[in-house]
A and B are shown apart, each in its own frame.
Chain A
Amino acid sequence: MLDLLRQPWPWWTSGAAIAFIMVLLLYFGKYFGVSSNLRTICTIAGAGKRVEFFNFNWKAQRWNLLFVLGAVLGGVISSTWLKNDQPLQLSSATVEDLNAIGVSFDGNLNPAQLFGATAIGSVKGIAILLIGGVLVGFGSRYAGGCTSGHAISGLTNMQVPSLIAVIGFFIGGLATTYLILPHLF
């Protein structure tokens, strides 16, 4: 059983499980949306004293912080008990395309060129990750949600605004993929 769980999971099991988590949170009287935690953490850090947007009762969001804590622990379990030593089965077309822009495929989940010790110790490496993070944080709050809040919670509730946001996610993602990444490595 454990051996089976250690294999990479097919996409449909995960798709079904994500729908299950969304329903589970609804049953708990909450909703599935991760990016609001970023606002909550800013509030806990004291941002509410200076900026009105962060002046809210964060304790009502405590459950969501616990969800994030669980997500971190889930990552720990996947990299220990459920660790799989096989390389990621990335499409060969993607491997070639990435090679062409100077990113080598190392078989892990994330490239060492972005997340390895050398990268996160260099000014360029830190700048890429920090700027990327700023864009994600700013964009998700401006759009009122991220992949979970819009693409899952919003789309399953037939929300047109969420569809617009998801189209935006792709416009931005394609722009980075084809216009920015080729010049970074």
Chain B
Amino acid sequence: MKSIKFIFAGLLFGIIMSKSEAISWYRIQEMFRFQSFHMYGLMGTAVVLGSIAVFLIKKFKVSDYTGQPIIFKDKDKSFPRYIIGGTIFGLGWALTGACPGPMFVNLGFGYFGMLIVILGALLGTFIYGVVRNKLPH
């Protein structure tokens, strides 16, 4: 079945994020207070190894499993949307201790209060869709 591999990838993500405590509100506070290397080490390792992988994929023009070349899309060049959107995101991230991935992992872990956060995130996404034409991008 073609779908199962995506569930598997998500499953691995969920286990990793919870076992490394990256879904923890406390760990996020520790990060924003610069009192532990934990989250920086985690993100740093992911970014360094990921960068090497992306470099190699581009250099050797690696194809995906169907034989199609792996294409990297550049993000649109802009400043306001990234700095303003990013800041708004950060305000909520430190409040709930959860970014979109960990919200769902936490829900599975048994933190049912995360349903309120997920509901809020859906509402926030909807509000963005309604007002996006009026925002600087």
- Contact pick for B113, options A15, A68, A119, A131, CB 8 Å: A119
Contact across chains for B111 and A164 when beta carbons are under 8 A apart: no
Give how many A-B residue pairs fall within 8 Å (CB-CB).
Answer: 493
Chain B 35-54: CB-based contact to A (< 8 A → 1; otherwise 0)? 11111011111110111011
**Residue in chain A with minimal CB distance to B53:** A23
C-alpha gap A26/B128 in the complex (Å):
28
- Contact pick for A35, options B26, B47, B100, B114, CB 8 Å: B100
Chain B 1-29: CB-based contact to A (< 8 A → 1; otherwise 0)? 00101111111111111111111111111
Task: Tell whether A57 is near chain B: CB-to-CB under 8 Å.
Answer: no
11 contacts between A and B (CB under 8 A): A18-B42, A51-B126, A66-B7, A67-B10, A88-B27, A105-B26, A132-B95, A137-B126, A162-B75, A165-B83, A168-B88
Contact across chains for A27 and B64 when beta carbons are under 8 A apart: yes
C-alpha gap A156/B121 in the complex (Å):
26
C-alpha gap A168/B81 in the complex (Å):
10
Residues of chain A with a CB closer than 8 A to B94's CB: 172-177, 180-181
**Residue in chain A with minimal CB distance to B38:** A11
Contact across chains for A63 and B3 when beta carbons are under 8 A apart: yes
Q: With A109-B109, A129-B113, A151-B43 given, is the CB distance from A176 to B12 under 8 Å?
A: no
C-alpha gap A12/B43 in the complex (Å):
9
C-alpha gap A38/B126 in the complex (Å):
9
Residues of chain B with a CB closer than 8 A to A11's CB: 20, 37-39, 41-42, 45
Residues of chain B with a CB closer than 8 A to A180's CB: 91, 94-95
Contact across chains for B121 and A137 when beta carbons are under 8 A apart: yes
Contact across chains for B10 and A141 when beta carbons are under 8 A apart: no
**Residue in chain A with minimal CB distance to B6:** A66
Interface set, chain A 31-83, CB cutoff 8 A to B: 34-35, 37-39, 41-42, 45, 47, 51-54, 62-64, 66-79, 82
Contact across chains for A120 and B113 when beta carbons are under 8 A apart: yes
Q: With A66-B3, A93-B33, A136-B89 given, is the CB distance from A159 to B74 under 8 Å?
A: yes
Contact across chains for A77 and B113 when beta carbons are under 8 A apart: no
Instruction: Name the prevailing secondary structure of the B interface residues.
Output: helix
From A67, A119, A137, name the one whose CB has the most chain B CB atoms within 10 angstroms.
Answer: A137
Q: With A110-B106, A138-B88 given, is the CB distance from A129 to B117 under 8 Å?
A: yes
Contact across chains for B7 and A147 when beta carbons are under 8 A apart: no
**Residue in chain B with minimal CB distance to A18:** B46
Residues of chain A with a CB closer than 8 A to B107's CB: 72, 75
Contact across chains for A69 and B7 when beta carbons are under 8 A apart: yes
Task: Tell whether B79 is near chain A: CB-to-CB under 8 Å.
Answer: yes
B15 to chain A, nearest CB (A): 4
Chain A 99-118: CB-based contact to B (< 8 A → 1; otherwise 0)? 00000010001110011100
Q: With A71-B13, A109-B21, A126-B116 given, is the CB distance from A93 to B35 under 8 Å?
A: yes
Contact across chains for B120 and A172 when beta carbons are under 8 A apart: no
Interface set, chain B 80-122, CB cutoff 8 A to A: 81-101, 103-114, 116-122
A155 to chain B, nearest CB (A): 5
